[in-house]
Structure 1
Amino acid sequence: MQQYLDAWTNAWKSALNAAQQTGGAAQQAPIAGLTGNWWPPAANGAPQSPFGAANPFGAANPFGAANPFGVANPFEGFKLPTASIEPTRLQHLQAEYSRDALDLLRQATDATPKAPELKDRRFSSEAWKATPGYAFTAAWYLLNARYLHELVDAIDTDPKTRERIRFAVQQWTAAASPSNFLALNPDAQHALLESHGESLRQGVMNLLGDMTRGKISQTDESRFVVGRNLATTEGSVVFENELFQLIQYKPRTPTVRERPLLIVPPCINKYYILDLQPENSLVAYALDQGQQVFLVSWRNGDASIAHKSWDDYVEEGVLTAIETTRSISGREQINTLGFCVGGTLLATALAVAAARGEHPASSMTLLTAMLDFSDTGVLDVFVDEAHVQMREQTIGGKNGATPGLMRGVEFANTFSFLRPNDLVWNYVVDNYLKGRTPAPFDLLFWNSDSTSLPGPMYAWYLRNTYLENKLREPGALTVCGEEVDLSRIDVPTFIYGSREDHIVPWRTAYASVPLLSGPLKFVLGASGHIAGVINPASKNKRSFWSIEADAKHLPEEADDWFAEAGEKPGSWWPTWAEWLDQYGGKKVKPRAQAGSAEFPEIEPAPGRYVQQRD
């Protein structure tokens, strides 16, 4: 590795000397000095860089029309978004980069080079600092990665194009880290020597196994069994059809509220994120508060339901679950809760019911759910007309084509690459370079246990929500034969958003407020999409924001609401439980047996559907 460092520093030493020889002129014009002296002259004696006219150290805009390859524009004829960087801003960034690069080169060429400070956990071990070659390789990488991200911040273009460029740069810089390569990772090399090659053999076996599965292992999946050490809250499956099973949980208190609570989880994941372990189960918590709890367990899609549509998920899914829960409980109205896309489905279903003159819900809870898709966070980088048309044509059954499935593994991989260092390359290094088996982690097991969806349903969802944002417009969509108007939902509604959610930005969660007509309460929790929701009261962690008094009319803008809200320590769960309790009706003795004569128990919870895996 020392030979590698020597070769690297010698290659740059002449450039450093040339830059220093320019004296005061170089100090006054560091960019010009780099352009004129770091690279050999062209045949005509003019300064030249290997980047041509689009030299990243020169004044030319690297996003402009100059073609560094000297050939015809390969994208001519295509309608591409424009992106540029204001010249003064670009020159400022170039000057900063040049200064930092020269400082790093000076450190590397010292007689006794001192390892640079590496403020990145990928390079936190002593092995990276002990040998200058590793340390300066990491430092050079961090400098260039930082500069690329600063260039993205400086781009003058529309927000969607900027976020797409940012996402691409994030993926490239994460992949290019020297920690991801055996030849440049001292920790992996140490493991190789210590194990006499066993770590490499095991790493190759891990890689081959993951290639077969189609995804990177994030946890030791052999340590978990749904129904044995996950999703263990006692209950019974009391109904099933092609799309879902309905679970009725066993009451835990001497008396229960007469109106049951129906939970509609997201259909792109298994439901047991809401019943992961006894100590962090929202299902168990609701039971302990005296609620009767029913829950939809979505089926993992296969070829037999590949033709199902959004209408089917509303009619045969949510509305059927509501009617079955009402029938078993004997109540005219029930309380309802939707999480993520489950909330979108639930609101659509209640709007359809309202259009039919039916009002089956006493209340609605929306947890990190979107009804207004104006700002869809980082997921927006994946959605445009071309992508939606591709899905419609390949799996959506468009123009009479055979419908297909949106595979759960695609969802899992997509969500992992939203955090590439934490959920992708971290496991590449540990699993493949070091030959380790990932530690057992229940949340990551659930994260990898995704659900496939029917193509027509998924394509409809993409086009009408993420792409065209029609759900918020009264009458713009017809679902189950009814025009959808969310303002017809006039039930009391509890809306929850997570402040650091990158999938459902909290302001997007708040954007549901002006669309609904009933009394509203909004609560903002700390942390992200999952950790913010699954924040059990017993652990007294994090915090949340709310307005103390229930306002008849919340502010229309999220930031105005936040200005009025106060922060409170701990979990938001007790606040929700207190709110829900007022719509549960009187207290009654729980029934001794699950189901009813019409809907007898089929099998114990968690049921078969949740155990179906790709």
Structure 2
Amino acid sequence: MGGTFLAIILAYLKVKKLDCTNSATFFTTLLDYTSPGELGVFFNENTMKYIKEDMDLKGYFDGKYLSNTFSLLRVNDLIWTFFVNNYLLGKNPMAFDLLYWNADSTNLPAKMYQEYLQNTYYNNLLKEPNTLDVLGTKIDLGKVDCNSFFVAAKEDHIAPWRSIYDGMKLINGDKIFCLTDSGHVAGVVNPPKTTKYNYRLNDDLSLNSREWLLKATEHKGSWWDCWLNWLIKNNTELVKSLDYKNLIAIEEAPGSYVKK
């Protein structure tokens, strides 16, 4: 969702003539929801109605529902493996940092999540110029022209890489499309020291996704170094960090919201 919101904000800033962005990075981001992949089966009229009713009662969308939805897309890896090994065989779960992080699901504000689903998965408003209304302003992704770096994962079951590639074409400016190995999480969280997964690049973004992949060059190791060099090239001045010591805290971490 973060990358989708970033694109919306960038388009909004262009309409308001607030040109303050040097570059933008999109991790596993869908902008065109024509083919959302397996996740799309969950977003129909009945499920949208159920989600709205549940959020109206709670005031937020329960993060556990989203976590369970992702697990249902990979039942063998994310459900039955643990049922067999831990419940039937009595084995202790093996330590896995990514799965531990992934299990920390986040509750989402009701109005935000409802509008997100309606405008993207259900109605795909970002695809058509001047269709989505943001704070009373119609936006057009085609007006976004800052340099951008798109990262997609070849085995991503949540945001299919081919759909990410198609959505990337909705915005303008100089773009890099980087296709990494693995899935939605491990494809992005791929530190250089692991050298576990490779990535692919192809400057010709006029091709369709199939042709792009056939002509892409595979590079060994993590995509992080490529991205870092791109960031340095596109952002010559460093932004000053916030003075955290003098910021007034609303309450102590992690905050009451995440404890619900």
TM-score by length of 2: 0.90
Deviations 1:421-448 (A, max 9, x none): 2211222223333344323322121111
RMSD of Structure 2 on Structure 1 (CA): 2.4
Q: Report the counterpart of residue 237 of structure 1 in structure 2.
A: none
Amino acid at match of 2:243: G
Q: Report the counterpart of residue 117 of structure 1 in structure 2.
A: none
Structure 1: tracts of 5 or more residues without a match: 1-340
DSSP 3-state at the match of 1:409:
helix
How far did residue 602 of structure 1 move? 4.3
Match of 1:601 among 238, 243, 247: 247
How far did residue 556 of structure 1 move? 4.8
Q: Report the counterpart of residue 132 of structure 2 in structure 1.
A: 477
- 1:563 correspondence with 2:214: yes
- 1:515 correspondence with 2:170: yes
1:105-254 paired onto structure 2 within 5 Å: none
Distance 1:369 1:377 in 2: 13
- 1:497 correspondence with 2:157: no
Q: Report the counterpart of residue 439 of structure 1 in structure 2.
A: 94
Amino acid at match of 2:212: W
TM-score by length of 1: 0.40
Deviations 1:530-566 (A, max 9, x none): 111111112222211102xx56xx2152122223311
Q: Is the 8 A contact 2:28 2:159 kept in 1?
A: yes
Amino acid at match of 1:386: N
Deviations 1:496-532 (A, max 9, x none): 1111111111111111232111111111111111111
Q: Report the counterpart of residue 9 of structure 2 in structure 1.
A: 349
Amino acid at match of 1:582: K
Deviations 1:104-142 (A, max 9, x none): xxxxxxxxxxxxxxxxxxxxxxxxxxxxxxxxxxxxxxx
Q: Report the counterpart of residue 538 of structure 1 in structure 2.
A: 193
Deviations 1:46-95 (A, max 9, x none): xxxxxxxxxxxxxxxxxxxxxxxxxxxxxxxxxxxxxxxxxxxxxxxxxx
Which protein has the larger Cα radius of gyration, Structure 1 or Structure 2?
1
Structure 2: tracts of 5 or more residues without a match: none
Change beyond 3 A, Cα 1:429–1:534? same
Distance 1:600 1:359 in 2: 29
Q: Is the 8 A contact 1:355 1:484 kept in 2?
A: yes
How far did residue 454 of structure 1 move? 1.9
Q: Is the 8 A contact 2:31 2:168 kept in 1?
A: no
Q: Is the 8 A contact 2:61 2:110 kept in 1?
A: yes
Distance 2:190 2:216 in 1: 20
Distance 2:5 2:115 in 1: 12
DSSP 3-state at the match of 1:532:
coil
Q: Is the 8 A contact 1:403 1:456 kept in 2?
A: no
Deviations 1:140-174 (A, max 9, x none): xxxxxxxxxxxxxxxxxxxxxxxxxxxxxxxxxxx
Distance 1:444 1:350 in 2: 32
How far did residue 403 of structure 1 move? 6.4
How far did residue 391 of structure 1 move? 2.3
Q: Report the counterpart of residue 114 of structure 2 in structure 1.
A: 459
Q: Is the 8 A contact 1:513 1:556 kept in 2?
A: no
State the identity %. 38
Distance 2:120 2:253 in 1: 31
Q: Report the counterpart of residue 367 of structure 1 in structure 2.
A: 27
Q: Report the counterpart of residue 579 of structure 1 in structure 2.
A: 230
- 1:529 correspondence with 2:180: no
How far did residue 586 of structure 1 move? 4.2
Amino acid at match of 1:349: I
Distance 1:559 1:610 in 2: 47
How far did residue 346 of structure 1 move? 0.7
Amino acid at match of 1:540: T
Distance 1:403 1:489 in 2: 36
Distance 1:602 1:567 in 2: 47
Q: Report the counterpart of residue 85 of structure 1 in structure 2.
A: none
How far did residue 611 of structure 1 move? 9.0
Change beyond 3 A, Cα 1:561–1:584? same
Distance 2:196 2:58 in 1: 45
Change beyond 3 A, Cα 1:388–1:450? same
How far did residue 493 of structure 1 move? 0.7
Distance 2:255 2:28 in 1: 24
Amino acid at match of 2:68: N
Q: Is the 8 A contact 2:37 2:157 kept in 1?
A: yes
DSSP 3-state at the match of 2:169:
helix
- 1:382 correspondence with 2:42: yes
How far did residue 378 of structure 1 move? 1.1
Deviations 1:308-341 (A, max 9, x none): xxxxxxxxxxxxxxxxxxxxxxxxxxxxxxxxx1
Distance 2:78 2:125 in 1: 33
